[in-house]
Amino acid sequence: MSTRKRLSFNVKLNTTGDTITIHISDPSNLQADNLALATWGSSEVLANTLHRLPTPDFAGTGAIAGLGSVLELGAGTGLVGLSAAAIWRVWVTLTDLEPILPNIKANIELNRAVIRGYGGSAACGMLDWARPDLLTFFVPEHESQLTADASGEWKPWKFRVVLAADTVYSEEHPELLTKAVTARLERSPKARFIMCYPLRIGYLDHIRDLWERLELAGLGCMQEGRESLHEEWDEDTPYEWCVWRWRGDI
Ligand SMILES: C[S@@+](CC[C@H](N)C(=O)[O-])C[C@H]1O[C@@H](n2cnc3c(N)ncnc32)[C@H](O)[C@@H]1O
């Protein structure tokens, strides 16, 4: 079985060696785009890097019930978001395009009890990077487009932390991702955008473009690193992760 179709992943919880096993449902039972039903190397790298990063300051977040403080964009099978929920003990909202959501929901259910044991929680919703102001919850009891706040004003909910793994693989993605991040990342010095991508030759221009756009939008990279996947993946490509925050007075 290819590693991308693996059905469980051990993720490091801390630097003392504790791990959590995240289970992924068998995608062959669901009909959707295969690309998103695989788990990509960036997800495993980022999930296993989170415990080494300074824990984001979540104080004062989560004011709207059920939305939490962490958003994952292009979650795919949800490995990163589910790991973040356990590592940081927070509520994470995993988002992707509509056809991918049944699989994400299945993965949330598979891992709900163990994540809850760590004090975390997860929900999923539809968020297309082309329309980031619309976030539609998939779970019926949370179904809402969140188009307005209590005063009726158009004000999409913003998240303290936004995560994205392997979401830069076409020339439209830098513009779309910048739009999604700037629409959904809280405007505060505590806010962080954390992403990971493979450094494949064919993607380097898109990654450069994304960095330029994020900088133009007012974000600055504060931490970055490179990792390789373990042998099981049979892949030499290096992976880069980076942490961004808003620059200057916000
Ligand atoms: C290569 S997969 C990565 C999935 C997962 N993050 C991982 O690393 O395993 C890219 C993901 O981005 C999602 N995606 C692509 N375009 C999107 C868009 N315009 N809006 C939201 N999600 C999108 C795809 O559906 C897919 O789940």
Assess whether the C-beta atom of 128 lies below 6 angstroms from ligand 1.
yes
Torsion of CA 36, 179, 173, 217, to 10 degrees: -130
| Centroid of ligand 1 to alpha carbon of 119 (angstroms) | 27
Rounded distance, CA 125 to CA 64, Å?
A: 15
Superfamily per CATH, domain 7-246: Vaccinia Virus protein VP39 (3.40.50.150)
Our CA angle for 49, 51, 55, nearest 5°, is 120
Q: What is the predicted pLDDT for the residue at 36? A: 57
Q: What is the DSSP letter of 129?
A: T
Q: What is the predicted pLDDT for the residue at 145? A: 47
Can you point out the beta strands (E) in the chain? Answer: 8-12, 19-23, 70-73, 91-96, 121-126, 136-137, 161-165, 192-198, 219-227, 239-246
**CA 15 distance to own-chain centroid:** 21
Rounded distance, CA 145 to CA 94, Å?
A: 15
Assess whether the C-beta atom of 74 lies below 6 angstroms from ligand 1.
yes
* Strand-pair partners of 193: 162, 244
In the predicted structure, residue 33 carries a pLDDT above the cut 90:
no
Pocket mutation for ligand 1, best pick of 9, 97, 207 (most atoms within 8 Å of C-beta): 97
Q: What is the predicted pLDDT for the residue at 152? A: 42
| Centroid of ligand 1 to alpha carbon of 166 (angstroms) | 7
DSSP annotation string for 13-80: -STTS-EEEEE---GGGS-S-HHHHS--HHHHHHHTTGGGSPPP--TT---STTT-SEEEES-TT-HH
Assess whether the C-beta atom of 136 lies below 6 angstroms from ligand 1.
no
Q: List Cα–Cα distances, 144 to 126, 190, 231, in angstroms.
A: 11, 27, 43
Place of tokens 């700037």: 182
pLDDT tens, residue by residue, 63-111: 454 567 899 999 999 999 999 999 999 999 999 999 999 899 999 999 9
Average pLDDT, stretch 144-167? Answer: 68
Please tell me the residue having the least CA distance from ligand 1 atom 20: 128
In the predicted structure, residue 170 carries a pLDDT above the cut 80:
yes
Closest CA to 80 of 190, 168, 194: 194
Place of tokens 């955008």: 193
The answer to whether the CB of 42 falls within 8 A of the CB of 134 is no
The letter for the amino acid at 233 is W
Domain limits, the chain: 7-246
Identify the band that residue 138 occupies on the pLDDT scale cut at 50, 70 and 90.
low
Pocket mutation for ligand 1, best pick of 33, 167, 184, 195 (most atoms within 8 Å of C-beta): 167
Helix, strand, or coil here: 12?
A: strand
